[in-house]
Amino acid sequence: MTAERDGGPTAHGGVGLRVVKVGGDEILPGPALDSLARWVVRETRAGSPMILVHGGGDEVTELARRLDVPTRKVQGHRVTTPEILPLVEGTLAGVVNLRLVRALEEAGIATVGLSGVSGGMVEAQWAGDPPGSLGFVGWPRRVDPTLLRLLLREGFLPVLAPLARGPSHEVLNVNADPFAAALAAALRADLWLLTDVPGVRGEAGEWLPELPEHVAQELLARGIASDGMVPKLQAALGALSSGVPRVRIGNLPAEGSPEPGKGTWVLRERPVPHAAPDASAGFPPASTIMSLPSQREAGT
């Protein structure tokens, strides 16, 4: 039975499909979330189906603080301990996911809330150096997009929390940027990484409307990209190397504006890798796209 709610997506993978990662103010109650929901309505009514992936790490941190659960970081990455993991699961797959589903349903979009654990959709390997040093944190290894294709074909918009199945079926916490990149690679969809800035900036601080792969690698290697832009560029490079057509990094266009918004398109410079039809898609190991530390991280 096909969902008949006004504004629901109708395409099923491939042409026109986008995987959109959202975070920050856009997943908190308030005007930004309302604007996101209205944007999704406009885009889907215009025939652009999408899948949403959300973060929520700040809310996990705040909940841990209120409950007096200790947290720590290793090399800038928060460790997901056995004590933290239930807070991660409840916040991401529960509070945040339901909040987004409710906002989209109220806006008229037939929505289904999921995580990467649903249907064995996303398998992950232990993250960290050495693997497992970050606790229950994973890196996407393989995606089976069957469930997503089914939901899209039936007219539903999937909203996913970035949790995945580990090697022994444990739940692993995955950074939302590479999680979204892995989904986009499996579906050969465009990847949109929404941020609170207009796009990627170059060495002189100039906005870059287009960014070829080799230039993105240079921005990382020279430390020009910093802070939150580093994982976004790493996720973009991983997605492109897995067959994603292009990646957009930037914020949402202003409501009521005829302009599409700035944003930076990170563009592939190599042929699209071949993928067997209906096969589960693999995602590059973390070591292959996280080996370009900034000068600051490298200590130089």
Q: Which of 214, 217, 160, 167 is CA-nearest to residue 183?
A: 160
> The pTM is what?
0.86
Lowest mean pLDDT among 111-125, 222-236, 274-288: 274-288
Residue range 222-236, pLDDT digits in tens: 888 888 888 889 889
Q: How many angstroms separate the first and last alpha carbons of the chain?
A: 59
Query: In the predicted model, what is the mean pLDDT of residues 158-171?
Result: 97
DSSP three-state, residue 286? helix
Q: What are phi and psi of 297, to 5 degrees?
A: -70, -35
Which H or E run includes 117? none
Neighbours of 156 (CB within 10 A): 21
Asked if the model's pLDDT at residue 125 lies above 90, the reply is yes
Catalytic residue ranges: 21, 24, 57, 177, 232
Domains of the chain: 18-298 (3.40.1160.10)
Sign of CA dihedral 23, 102, 39, 46: positive
